């Protein structure tokens, strides 16, 4: 009989305890969701049709459109675009021994850009962009006494998120 009485007390205590626990439970709870988006930037250059067929023996009447540069960057602080010229702003001949060259000036949306073999800042933007385009033009003095050759320069553009 003592065992039955003890069992009843244990059952009653368990029922009371089970009833008390929900009374102490929180009535609200929260969950924080978060994600990370890394800074990213990309640049593309699309040559204009005349960029690889410049008439170097005569001076153009206006700057020649040579390319469109498109920048994409997700940094709210902005980005920079730099440009480096393999020949420091000169179109040079491909034939060994040809010392002729045609100096040119590069313009980005009408503003002159200083070219050298090291990267020079072409543009600094203070906000993100989903596709800003820049028109590149060049101007040069034609020279009818150039040696027969293919004259070129390579421009390298780099974008960096700030």
pLDDT for 162 equals 96
User: Per the structure block, which two tokens stand in for 79?
Assistant: 């980005």
Residue the block writes with tokens 């244990």 = 10
Mean pLDDT computed over every residue of the chain:
91
Which of 83, 87, 95, 79 has its CA nearest to residue 130? Answer: 79
Residue the block writes with tokens 């020649």 = 64
Which of 129, 139, 138 has its CA nearest to residue 159? Answer: 129
With 0-12 / 13-18 / 19 or more C-beta atoms within 10 angstroms meaning exposed / middle / buried, residue 108 is: middle
pLDDT for 26 equals 80
- Name the β-bridge partners of 157: 83
pLDDT for 12 equals 67
The CATH code that applies to domain 41-161 is 2.60.40.1090
Whole-number percent of the chain with pLDDT over 90: 81
Instruction: Give the tens place of pLDDT for each residue, 81-111.
Output: 999 999 999 999 999 999 999 999 999 999 9
To the question of pTM greater than 0.85 for the whole model, the response is no
Measured at the CA of 123, the angle between CA 117 and CA 128, to 5 degrees, comes to 135
pLDDT for 139 equals 97
Query: CA dist 86 to 12, 15, 153, 154, Å?
Result: 90, 85, 6, 5
pLDDT for 22 equals 58
């Amino acid at each position: 009989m003592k065992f039955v009485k003890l069992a009843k007390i244990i059952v009653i205590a368990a029922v009371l305890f089970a009833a008390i626990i929900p009374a102490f439970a929180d009535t609200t709870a929260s969950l924080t969701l978060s994600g990370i988006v890394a800074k990213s930037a990309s640049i593309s250059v699309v040559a204009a049709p005349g960029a690889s067929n410049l008439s170097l023996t005569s001076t153009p009447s206006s700057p020649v459109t040579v390319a469109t540069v498109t920048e994409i960057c997700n940094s709210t602080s902005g980005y920079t675009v730099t440009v480096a010229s393999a020949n420091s702003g000169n179109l040079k001949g491909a034939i060994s021994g040809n010392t002729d060259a045609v100096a040119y000036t590069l313009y980005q949306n009408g503003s002159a850009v200083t070219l050298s073999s090291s990267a020079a800042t072409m543009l600094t933007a203070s906000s993100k962009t989903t596709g800003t385009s820049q028109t590149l033009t060049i101007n040069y003095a034609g020279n009818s006494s150039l040696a027969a050759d293919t004259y070129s320069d390579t421009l390298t553009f780099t974008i960096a998120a700030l």
